[in-house]
A = this chain, B = another copy of it.
Amino acid sequence: MSGTEPVRRTTRQRSAVLAVLDDLEQFRSAQEIHTELVRRGDSVGLSTVYRTLSALVADDDVDTLLRDDGETLYRRCHGETHHHHLVCRSCGATVEVDGPAVETWADRLAAEHGFDEVSHTLEIFGRCEKCRV
């Protein structure tokens, strides 16, 4: 079903958002990305930032992360496959990690309890070396 990715035109705004994402290594909120665009003098409407990010997520070009306060963070990821993140709470530095054992554990557990269509979220937060006092 589908596979018919809706056509995405190449616009100045879309390119600008992608440029910011490519430059930033950390997870950033839509608001922060918008601010960065303004700072660069390459201003893009806030609505457009949200729309573009949603499209990128739908196309699996960007990863998302839900912060404790419910705000959504975005980041361009390198790994093609499913992976998790080890994120620094202060600076946002991110390490992509695999957790094959966790995946199978979660699936088996769910199956044992009669659940199907299983998915899971797993993120690790901490403080990286550079952010120690």
A interface residue count range (under 10 / 10 to 19 / 20 to 34 / 35 or more): 35 or more
- Give how many copies assemble into the complex: 2
Asked whether any CB of chain B lies closer than 8 Å to the CB of A16, the reply is no
A66 contact from B70, B115, B122, Cβ within 8 A: B70
Q: Are B122 and A126 in contact (CB under 8 A)?
A: no
Across the interface, which residues of B come within 8 angstroms of A124, CB to CB?
106, 109-110, 115, 118-120
Known contacts A86-B110, A99-B105; 13 further A-B pairs (Cβ under 8 A): A66-B66, A66-B68, A66-B70, A89-B117, A110-B126, A115-B128, A116-B126, A116-B132, A118-B124, A119-B124, A120-B123, A121-B121, A121-B122
Nearest 9 A/B pairs, CB to CB: A115-B126, A70-B70, A114-B129, A118-B126, A120-B124, A122-B122, A117-B127, A110-B126, A106-B124
